[in-house]
Amino acid sequence: MTAALPRYARPRPDRLLGLTPAVWTGVLAVLALAALEVLARTVVDPIDLVPPTTMVVRTAELLGTAGFVTGQVLPSLGLIAAAFALAGVAGVGLAYTMWRSPWWRLALQPYLNVYYAIPIFAVYPILVVLLGTGGVPIVLLSAAFGAVVVVTNSLLGFDSVPEPVRKLARSRNLGTRRYLTAILLPAALPDIASGLRLGLVYATIGVLATEFILSTRGLGHEIADAYHTFRTADMYAGILLICLLALALNIAVGAVLDRLDWRRR
C-alpha cells in the first residue's frame, strides 16, 4: 500500500517553465509595468494615470531643471541625512545608557514596546507651532521616528555578547573602556548596522511624510503641490523619483553597513 509523496513534503521546485524565481520576479515586474502602460494608454483617463514611459521622460526633464534639483531634491536629501545621523547617534547612545543601567532600561522598555503603535506624526503639528515650518521640526520628528528602531536593535546587539566571552573578559580584568571597544561594540555591530538600515528607511519616510503634510519645499512638498495644482505628470514623476532615490539610498547605505557586519563575511 504505497502512494506518491504528497506535494507538501516535496522540496520547492527550482524552476518553473525553465525559469528560476528570480527571473520570474523580473518577468512579473515587466508584465506589471506593461499592464500599467496599456491601461494608461487605453482605458484610464491619461490625466489620472500617466503611462510609465511618460513618467520616465518627465522625471528626466525635471532632473534637468536646475531649480528642481537645488530647490527640492537636495533639501530633502539634506534633511534625510540630518535626521538619519541624529537618529543613529541618539539611538545607539540611548541604547548604551539602557544597557548600562538596568533601572533605566526597565523604566523605558514599556514605552519603547508601544512606540510604533502610536502614530508619532500626530506630534508634528505641535512641533510646527513651536518651531515653524522649516527644516528643524522635520528633522526632529523624522529622527524621533527612526531612533527607536535603532535603540531596539542596538540593545539586541549589546545583549548578544555570549556569556563565555563575558566571563573571559572578566577574568582578564578588562576595564570599562577596553570592554566597550574590544568586545561590546564589535559584538553589537551587526545588529547596530541592521538597526541603522531600518533607521534610514524610517528617517526617509519621516522626512517625505512631513514635507508632504505641511512644509514649504522638498520632494514631499513638491508631490503634494503637484497634486493640488493638477500637475499629474509632475506628481507621477516625483513619485517615480522618490522610489528610485529610496532604492538607491537603501542599496548604497546597505552596502556600507554590510561591511560592518562580520556575520555576513
Partner 1 sequence: MSAQPLIRSHDVTRRFGAVEALGPLSLHGARGEFVSIVGPSGCGKSTMLEIVGGLQRPDSGSVFVAGVPLEGPRDETAIVFQDSATLPWRTVLDNVAFSLEARGVARDERRDIARRGLETVGLAAFAAHYPAQLSGGMRQRVALARALVTEPDLILADEPFGALDEQTRLLMSDELLAVVDRLGCGVLFITHSIQEAVLLSDRILVMSARPGRIVDEITVPLERPRTSEVLSSTAAAECVSRIWALIRREAQVAMQGAS
Partner 2 sequence: MTLSDSALADTPVAPARPASRGVPPPLVLGIGLLAAWWAIAALVDSAVMPTPVTAVERLLVNLQSTRFLDSAADTVLRLLTAYVGVAVVGAVTGFLLGLARFWAAAVSPLLYAVYSVPKIVLFPLFLLFLGLGDASQVGFAFFSGVLPMVLLVSAAAAAVPPLPLKLAASLRMSTPAVITKIVLPSILPAFAGALRLTFGLTFLGLLIAEMFTGVSGLGYELLRNVPLVRMGDIVGEVVLVILIALAPAIGLRTLETRVRARFGTTTEGDGR
Q: Return the residues of window 7-66 that contact partner 2 according to CB under 8 A.
A: 7-9, 11-13, 16, 21-22, 24-25, 28-29, 32, 48
* Cα separation, 209 vs 197, whole angstroms: 19
76 near partner 2 (CB under 8 A) = no
- Angle formed by the axes of helices 185-213 and 219-228, nearest 10°: 30
**From candidates 33, 63, 106, 252, binder to partner 2 by CB under 8 A:** 106
**From candidates 34, 107, 165, 256, binder to partner 2 by CB under 8 A:** 107
**From candidates 7, 9, 48, 110, binder to partner 1 by CB under 8 A:** 9
Q: List the beta bridge partners of residue 16.
A: 19
Comparing CB distances to partner 1, the nearer of 3 and 255 is: 3
**From candidates 156, 169, 174, 183, binder to partner 2 by CB under 8 A:** 156
3 near partner 1 (CB under 8 A) = yes
Q: Return the residues of window 164-193 that contact partner 2 according to CB under 8 A.
A: none
Rounded to a whole number of angstroms, the minimum distance from the CB of residue 17 to partner 1 is: 20
103 near partner 2 (CB under 8 A) = yes
17 makes contact, choosing from partner 2, partner 1, none, with CB < 5 to 8 Å by partner type, with none
* Cα separation, 167 vs 184, whole angstroms: 13
**From candidates 2, 42, 171, 173, binder to partner 1 by CB under 8 A:** 2
Nearest residue to 214 via CA among 143, 92, 101, 129: 129
Mark the segment that binds partner 1 (CB under 8 A) among 5-13, 16-24, 38-46, 221-229: 5-13
Comparing CB distances to partner 1, the nearer of 4 and 251 is: 4
Please say whether the beta carbons of 123 and 181 come within 8 A. Answer: no
Please say whether the beta carbons of 169 and 179 come within 8 A. Answer: yes
SS3 16: strand
22 near partner 1 (CB under 8 A) = no
Nearest residue to 184 via CA among 195, 172, 199, 169: 169
Q: What is the DSSP letter of 173?
A: T
Please say whether the beta carbons of 13 and 7 come within 8 A. Answer: no
57 makes contact, choosing from partner 1, partner 2, none, with CB < 5 to 8 Å by partner type, with none
C-alpha cell at 31: 508584465
How far CA 227 is from CA of 51, 65, 119, 219, 250, in Å, comes to 17, 19, 24, 12, 27
Q: What are phi and psi of 201, to 5 degrees?
A: -60, -45
125 makes contact, choosing from partner 1, partner 2, none, with CB < 5 to 8 Å by partner type, with partner 2
Mark the segment that binds partner 1 (CB under 8 A) among 3-11, 84-92, 102-110, 154-162: 3-11
Comparing CB distances to partner 1, the nearer of 14 and 45 is: 14
Rounded to a whole number of angstroms, the minimum distance from the CB of residue 53 to partner 2 is: 18
Nearest residue to 12 via CA among 23, 22, 21, 2: 21
What residue ranges bind partner 1 (CB under 8 A)? 1-6, 9
